[in-house]
Structure 1
Amino acid sequence: MEESVKRFIEKHQLLRPGQTIVLGVSGGSDSMALLHYFNEIRSKQDLRIIAASVDHGLRGEESRQDLQLVADICEEWDIEFKGVQCDVASYKQEHKLGTQQAARTLRYQFFHEMMQEAGADALALGHHGDDQAETMVMQLIRGTNIDALKGIPITRPFATGRIIRPFLSVSKQEIRTYCKKKGIRLREDPSNQEDTYTRNYLRLHVLPLLKEKNPRLSEHLQLMSERVREDLSYLNAQAEQALKAVVQLEPAGPEAAFDIVDFQTLPTALQRRTFHLILNYLYDGRTMDLSYIHEEQFFAMLDPVVANARLDFPDNLSLHRNYGRISFYFGKKDESSPYHFELQPGESIMLPNGSELTAKTTACRDAKEDQYTFACDVTHVKLPLIIRTRQDGDRMTLKGMSGSKKIKDIFIDQKVPIEQRADWPIVTDQSGNILWLAGLKKSNIGKKDSQGNWLQLHYKYKEEM
């Protein structure tokens, strides 16, 4: 086993001479083998090693004896030791966590403090190849994302350095053989033989069956984990570039948005990873209860037949499609309050959405009338003008039409985003005749040449101001 672990450490550059290493030690075979292995190599590698042990307070006197065993062996082997007792039961109740999650949280808090106190370079843990196999099978059962094949990382950043797992290259049986060969005293947690938890069930009932078909299962899955991580590292790097190229990220909120046409120029694999990067950005790395169903719902929104749609994700995150654009934001967009203003020629009014409408009269019709300018014979209009938001049943008569058209249908035809429709300005006269859906459509009222004055309106849209 020693040679296998040595090659694994060298391959992944897990250790350097002169480092300070904190060892997570529980008293079981995995961690006690780890403690023994590092004790054997510390003088050759010029390592400072510190054993850190946690009594979770879940098994009374038994767990206190586990802690004492580690303390006794560290004294015997002249290894620095620090142990702590935690009240997992109280922490679990206070934070509404499961037992295992509460224990893990307190354990890693202690390890974090130990590393900071010692200025340590690494925290070494005793996870082995069978742990890797259990993790990968468990993740495959629970999810459909390719990330499920990543398994336990060999190393990752933590506290003042990183976590390292030198035993991922060896099996549980190899560790047991090592402990027996070296005469290492152990205390195994009897709860490991209970199949209440999914991990234990897989360890006791599923993995043995798989190993009957392939005795080298743990080794093969560890190699698969390494290859998947390498491939995903490349995909994530490409997705990071795609994110910068096609997605607009807004720290305020935070929010994100992209044009669907641009997004769909990416290969499907990059679309998927970019989608998850967006979520990671918005959730700020928090683990959320997301499944493949959320991903499928998102990709359904990209279908060309969909014009407008909305999805609700965990933690009040909304995804909103408006024609060719998808936006991500938390909560509901502020609902616009209805407004109703009067406007006389020679006046301007600033609207709640930040746009501006100006009215004036001129002696002749302005030949430069455009999308944002409306003109009509003032004698055909009953002043003052009304500037208001839409109302149920609003219709207007358009140039060249014998009948009228619903304002709602005009918004749809013009592909106005749903969230902008509620506060879009509608211009009417005192008789209620809709003259202008500002910036979009004009009525044909008073459009014939006139010898009198002309009423001219100018709409300055907020994005142009």
Structure 2
Amino acid sequence: MIHLLKKVPNDITIACSGGPDSMVVLDFLNNGRRNIKVAHFDHGTYHGREATKFVHDYCRRNDIPIILGELSLDIPTGRSKEDFWREQRYNFFSSIPGPIVTAHHLDDVVEWWVFSSLHGQSRLIPYQNKNVIRPFLLVTKDELLSWARNKNVRYITDPSNKETRYMRNFIRHQMMPDIVEVNPGIRTMLKKKLVNKYTEEEENKNG
């Protein structure tokens, strides 16, 4: 069962890479009761072009409007490719009116918390940043993959996600198994922190 952090608006744009997480989110939210569009960003790599074709074909078959963006700048000297691509994606998202739903999930929350802890901050992924909302933060990766299996959701995988020279991938593949073994309750702990933080923010917002 997929439980959302907050109800999703009816008029939304779903950020979709073609990977398992975003394809499940697209399948879950494309239930006929919402006015949805898809936003896809092409990073200009071989896999990026394959992903663009995959997402474009899915949207065409399902009569879903698609907004395409593409990387048009070279990576500046000294910049991390991962960080630069993320920056360009979010610049693209900010150019689209209305809420953008991403597929960030609880495992992303844990990985980001570990990553930021290594830099002395221990931060949680926020529910909202400008027009980007992340309602799936309480859902685990396993729950998304289970939905994909049960609903026969097709997706493609990015081979670069396994490259441990990128810090986030190193944390995911090399560190997380040991962290979960030492502290099996880490997901539950951060889930509670996330709910408490969101509840507090909503209370402050509503006065």
State TM-score, norm by structure 2: 0.87
Per-residue CA deviation, residues 276-322 of structure 1 (Å, 9 max, x unaligned), is xxxxxxxxxxxxxxxxxxxxxxxxxxxxxxxxxxxxxxxxxxxxxxx
- Take 1:214 and 1:23, find their aligned partners in 2: how far apart are those partners? 33
Aligned counterpart for 1:15 among listed residues 4, 8, 11: 8
Map 1:325-404 to 2 at 5 A. Answer: none
Structure-1 separation of matches of 2:23 and 2:201: 33
Is structure 2 residue 184 aligned with structure 1 residue 199?
A: no
Q: Which residue of 2 aligns with 1:169?
A: 138
For 1:231 and 1:63, locate their aligned partners in 2 and report how far apart those are by CA, in whole Å. 39
What's the counterpart of residue 30 of structure 2? 39
Partners of 1:75 and 1:105 lie apart in 2 by: 28
Contact 1:124–1:165, Cα closer than 8 Å, also in 2:
yes
Aligned equivalents of 2:20, 2:185: Cα separation in 1: 21
Question: CA 1:152 to 1:197, structure 2 compared with 1: closer, same or farther past 3 Å?
Answer: same
For residues 202 and 214 of structure 1, the distance between their equivalents in structure 2, rounded to whole angstroms, comes to: 15
CA distance in 2, matches of 1:27, 1:135: 22
In structure 1, the residue matched to 2:49 is 64
% identical equivalent positions: 29
Query: What does 1:253-272 align with in structure 2 at a 5 Å threshold?
Result: none
1:133-179 C-alpha deviation (Å, 9 max, x unpaired): 00111111111xxxx334101123x2xxx321121111111111111
Q: Structure 1 segments of 4 or more deviating over 3 A?
A: 213-216, 225-234
Q: Deviations over 1:248-279 (max 9, x none)?
A: xxxxxxxxxxxxxxxxxxxxxxxxxxxxxxxx
Match of 1:189 in 2: 158
Whose relative contact order is higher, 1 or 2, with alpha carbons under 8 Å and at least 6 apart? Answer: 2
> Could you say which structure has the higher helix fraction?
2
Deviations 1:319-370 (A, max 9, x none): xxxxxxxxxxxxxxxxxxxxxxxxxxxxxxxxxxxxxxxxxxxxxxxxxxxx
Of 82, 86, 95, the residue aligned with 1:104 is 86
Give the Cα–Cα distance (whole angstroms) in 1 for the partners of residues 201 and 136 of structure 2.
Answer: 23
For 1:20 and 1:233, locate their aligned partners in 2 and report how far apart those are by CA, in whole Å: 21
Q: 2:70 matched to 1:85? A: yes
Cα distance in 1 for partners of 2:201, 2:127 equals 15
Q: Does 1:52 align with 2:29?
A: no
Go from structure 1 to structure 2 and tell me whether the alpha carbon gap of 1:229 and 1:37 turns closer, same or farther (over 3 Å shift). closer
Q: Which runs of 5 or more structure 1 residues have no equivalent in the other structure?
A: 235-465
Q: Please tell me whether the aligned partners of residues 133 and 218 of structure 1 are also in contact (alpha carbons under 8 angstroms).
A: yes
Q: Over aligned residues, Cα RMSD in angstroms?
A: 2.3
Q: 1:221 to 1:96 in 2, by over 3 A?
A: same
Higher share in strand: 1
Partner of 1:312: none
Q: Is the 8 A contact 2:101 2:133 kept in 1?
A: yes
Q: Which has the larger radius of gyration?
A: 1
Partner residue, 2:180: 211
**Partner amino acid for 2:128?**
T
Deviation of the 1:30 alpha carbon: 0.7
Once the 2 structures are TM-superposed, how far is the Cα of residue 53 of structure 1 from its aligned partner?
0.5
- Unmatched segments (≥5 aa) in structure 2: none
Query: Cα offset for 1:114?
Result: 2.1
Number of residue-to-residue matches in the alignment: 203
Output the amino acid matched with 1:102. Answer: F
Q: Secondary structure at the match of 1:169?
A: coil
Letter of the 1:165 counterpart: R
Equivalent position of 2:106 in the other structure:
129
Alpha-carbon distance in 2 for matches of 1:20, 1:232: 23
- Where does residue 141 of structure 1 map in the other structure? 118
Q: CA deviation at 1:191?
A: 0.9
* 1:154–1:166 Cα contact (<8 Å) kept: yes
The one-letter code matched in structure 2 to 1:168 is L
